[in-house]
Amino acid sequence: MIRLGNGILLEMDGRRFRFDPRRTVAEELNMVSHAHSDHIPSSFRTLQVVCSEVTRDLIHVRRGKELDVVDDPCVEALEAGHIPGSNMFMVKGERSVLYTGDFCTRRKAHLDAAKPAKCDSLIMEATYGKSRYVFPDHEEILGAARDWLDDLISHGGSAVLFAYPLGKSQELSVAFHDLPLRLHPSIAENNRVLVKHGYKLCTDELDEHAEKGPVVYITSGMGKDKERVARMRKAGARTAAFSGWALDRSFAYTSTVDEGFPLSDHCGYDELMRFVEKCSPEVVYTTHGFDKAFASSVRKELGIDARPLIAKQRTMDQFC
């Protein structure tokens, strides 16, 4: 049985496997796919989890928890391509069940791509699960952003780049490594953790009083940093946001930025469909984002049984 509630619960072969729980559960196998805040448990009944060493160390920095990483012979961790340390999980028993967590099938300079794997049941995210969300070529997006930055810096201007502290901030750190990058402290802290795991990333924080020329400042723009960003804007800095939602025409206006670049750590609709097709599952369970719409598309276009996971669902015929 597969059920939504405190993460996603898989019951198979007399065991309980818990994917991305909000609370870890003793006597169950708890799996954490990556270190984004919406996937990190908020409370721990046990510190024993299946996750990557990178995810373990990022959670320690972000939540102050020392996790005990464990292995299980029934579980194989696969590259998810979402952020550093992210994993998909293949559980094998009477059936093979693949849980993607957040994933991306595009290879990046600092991350390998998620690859499809044959399975009986596929549990997958559908963040961009509507047909209007098809992303341009990844390198073209970064190239357009690079042209914008080069032009700005050549005229003596500074830029503020808005990106998630974990994920796109590291991609921008790699893509624009030769520019005068400066980081918000939370991003610099994440990068320092990743440097210990072999990533080559900038760790320089912004010192407003020491900077003499143009800078490219990467930040989430949240919390107290809003005041710093406001000062930089007042001094003439231009702003850009990096998000898959920039495909929506109103994004730059509603986000109050000068430019929006549709850079995403997730799959677009076409990539989601190809992933399902190559995994060739008997059934697909969708979660997050446009889960209902994407499940409908899978049924219509691929002829594969697909259904969204529904909270508090209790009937076996819905989720087995």
16 pLDDT higher than 60: yes
Check residue 253 and give its pLDDT: 64
How far is 209 from 291, CA to CA, in rounded Å?
Answer: 47
User: Burial code of 238-268, b = ≥16 C-beta within 10 A, e = fewer?
Assistant: bbbbbbbbbbbeebbeebebbbbbbbbbbbb
What is the DSSP-derived secondary structure letter of residue 189?
H
User: Could you tell me which CATH class the domain 138-261 is placed in?
Assistant: alpha beta
What strands, in cross-sheet order, belong to the sheet with 29-31? Answer: 2-4, 8-12, 15-19, 29-31
Q: Which amino acid is at 83?
A: I
Check residue 312 and give its pLDDT: 58
318 pLDDT higher than 50: no
Is the CA virtual torsion 227, 232, 236, 242 positive or negative?
A: negative
Give per-residue pLDDT as tens, 78-108.
Answer: 999 999 999 999 999 999 999 999 999 999 9
Average confidence (pLDDT) over 218-229: 90
Give Cα separations from 197 to 29, 79, 185, 265 (angstroms).
26, 16, 19, 20
Average confidence (pLDDT) over 186-191: 97
Check residue 314 and give its pLDDT: 44
35 class by beta-carbon count within 10 Å (0-12 exposed, 13-18 middle, 19+ buried): buried
Q: Which amino acid is at 150?
A: D
305 class by beta-carbon count within 10 Å (0-12 exposed, 13-18 middle, 19+ buried): middle
> What is the greatest pairwise CA distance in the chain?
65
How far is 117 from 60, CA to CA, in rounded Å?
Answer: 30
Helix (H, G, I), strand (E, B) or coil at 136: coil
Check residue 210 and give its pLDDT: 83
Could you identify the residue written with the tokens 């804007």?
Answer: 233
297 pLDDT higher than 60: yes
319 pLDDT higher than 70: no
22 class by beta-carbon count within 10 Å (0-12 exposed, 13-18 middle, 19+ buried): middle
- Mean of the per-residue pLDDT values for the chain? 94
Q: Which of 131, 119, 127, 25 is nearest to 78 (CA)?
A: 119
61 class by beta-carbon count within 10 Å (0-12 exposed, 13-18 middle, 19+ buried): middle
Q: Which CATH number fits domain 2-133+266-308: 3.40.50.300, 3.90.1150.10, 3.60.15.10, 3.40.630.30?
A: 3.60.15.10
CATH 3.60.15.10 in the chain is located at: 2-133+266-308
Q: Which amino acid is at 284?
A: V
pLDDT band at 208 (very low <50, low <70, confident <90, very high): confident
Give Cα separations from 73 to 19, 50, 76, 84, 200 (angstroms).
16, 11, 8, 24, 33
Give per-residue pLDDT as tens, 109-156.
Answer: 899 999 999 999 999 999 999 999 999 999 999 999 999 999 999 999
pLDDT band at 223 (very low <50, low <70, confident <90, very high): confident
State which H helix or E strand residue 271 sits in.
helix 269-279
Three-state secondary structure readout of 77-129: EEECCCCCCCEEEEEECCCEEEECCCCCCCCECCECCCCCCCCCEEEEEECCC
